[in-house]
Amino acid sequence: MEEQNLEAIMGLIMNGGNAKSSAFEAIQAAKTGDFDGADAKLKESDQFLTEAHNSQTSMLTQEAQGNHMTVTLLAVHSQDHIMNAITFRDLAGEVVDIYKKLAADGK
């Protein structure tokens, strides 16, 4: 596997994992009523997702230029990581919103 592809794959795995962790921390913060902290963690998650997207774009650019990558289990795993992170981030945003609404309603 080419070094550039391995770097992009590892970028997806690391940033996807970090994005998911930050999103989970946002839920935990909202659960305790720390909505500023929750919003900061969601923003941090978004930043990690942007970095992951940049890694993915690098891989797609290489493919579009005719530099075909051999699909490996590691490459598939990296895509799985980023898709799970995106889904988890979206759901975390909804959970934080629910906690905010409950707090606003006095419950």
pLDDT tens per residue across span 7-38: 889 999 999 999 999 999 999 999 999 999 99
Q: What is the pLDDT of residue 107?
A: 65
Q: What pTM does this model have? A: 0.89
Residues recorded for the chain: 107
Q: What is the pLDDT of residue 56?
A: 87
- DSSP-assigned states of every residue in 17-31: HHHHHHHHHHHHHHH
Number of folded domains that form the chain = 1
Q: What is the pLDDT of residue 1?
A: 55
Q: Domain span at residue 61?
A: 3-104
Question: Among residues 88, 70, 78, which one has the least CA distance to residue 19?
Answer: 88
Query: How many other C-beta atoms can be found within 10 angstroms of the C-beta atom of residue 1?
Result: 11
Q: What is the DSSP letter of 72?
A: -
Please tell me whether 34 is known to bind a ligand.
no
Paired tokens of 1: 């596997």
- Residues with catalytic roles: 77
Say which residue the tokens 């075909």 belong to.
68
Inter-axis angle of helices 3-31 and 35-64, to 10 degrees?
A: 160
- CATH number of the domain residue 76 falls in: 1.20.58.80
Q: What is the pLDDT of residue 3?
A: 74
Residues of the chain with pLDDT under 50: none
Q: What is the pLDDT of residue 26?
A: 98
